[in-house]
Amino acid sequence: MYKKIITIRAKHGIHTRPAALLVKTAKTFDCDVIVECNGKQASAKSLFKLQTLGLYQGQEVKVSAEGTHAQEAVESVSTLLETLS
């Protein structure tokens, strides 16, 4: 398992459009990608579940993955979470 902790910088947090881009990116990997925030976790491949996490500016988020290309998946999803607006 590979994991990384990042902080969301987007002024308005991760709302529907950026979250959809995140899901699209996560689905390109064969591994399970999990996003965890505020004690809740969700698959990065589910737009609905991501929106239940409340991904707001300044919050720390843990991204983890297990399986084929886990490190690459975590790096890609983490970079998006840090830079999307």
Q: Which two tokens stand for residue 21?
A: 């881009």
pLDDT interval class at 75 (50, 70, 90): very high
Q: Which of 4, 15, 49, 62 is catalytic?
A: 15
Give pLDDT, residue 28: 97
Provide the terminal-to-terminal Cα distance of the chain, rounded to the nearest Å. 28
CATH T-level topology, domain 2-83: Histidine-containing Protein; Chain: A; (3.30.1340)
pLDDT tens by residue, 27-74: 999 999 999 999 999 999 999 999 999 899 999 999 999 999 999 999
pLDDT interval class at 25 (50, 70, 90): very high
Is 15 a catalytic site residue? yes
Is the pLDDT at 6 greater than 90? The verdict is yes
Give pLDDT, residue 85: 67
The amino acid occupying position 49 is K
Question: Domain extents for the chain?
Answer: 2-83
